[in-house]
Amino acid sequence: MVFMKKILHRVVLPFFIFCSIVLISSNYFSIAFNTTASLEGSVFLIDKTTLPKRGDIAAFTPPAGNLNTSKRGYLSTSPFLKIAMGVANDEVIITDTEVFINGNYLGPIHTETATGTVLVTTKSGLVPSKHYFMGSTHAGSYDSRYASIGYISEGLVIGRAIRLY
């Protein structure tokens, strides 16, 4: 009986607790690494239970088929981390050189990447229902200002990201 109690306390319970933590964390939380200069911070906790609000950092999967990640240095399995700069019904104005959200300057527009790939801008207008305009104030950020990213639907959002380091 004492032997069984020791096994229960030293093996079974820790194993059960470990499995519970892994299951909870994989369903509700994950860790993401920022590999670009577009946001401050390197390590982020993603809360998969919470959609971002305007101004929150969000983790999302870029639209499939619209992004050649290998040419931009991103890991194909890494989520994008950007700020939810615009939410449904916010006004986005994109000129030849600048982006504004609800009249506030976001940043410049570039016509091509550093490697010469042509960048097409997203169309001006209202952010659609259940979509986000994801961006950054970093001048070289590859984000919703470009059509290959565009407005991000809630279905592509993994969750709200919280900077850890």
Domain coverage including residue 45: 32-163
Within-domain flag for 19: no
**Cα radius of gyration rounded to whole Å, the chain:** 20
Within-domain flag for 73: yes
Within-domain flag for 13: no
Pairwise CA distance, residues 160 & 163, whole Å: 10
Which of the 8 DSSP states describes residue 12? I
Pairwise CA distance, residues 48 & 45, whole Å: 9
The CATH number assigned to the domain holding 37 equals 2.10.109.10
Compute, in degrees rounded to 10, the torsion defined by CA atoms 148, 164, 40, 118.
-10
Question: What are the pLDDT tens digits along the chain (165 aa)?
Answer: 665 555 545 654 455 455 445 545 578 988 888 888 889 998 999 999 999 999 999 999 988 755 545 545 555 567 899 999 999 999 999 999 999 999 999 999 999 888 888 889 999 999 999 999 999 989 888 899 999 899 999 999 999 999 988
Q: Nearest 5°: phi and psi at 124?
A: -65, 155
State both tokens at 136: 């950054």
State both tokens at 47: 């809360």
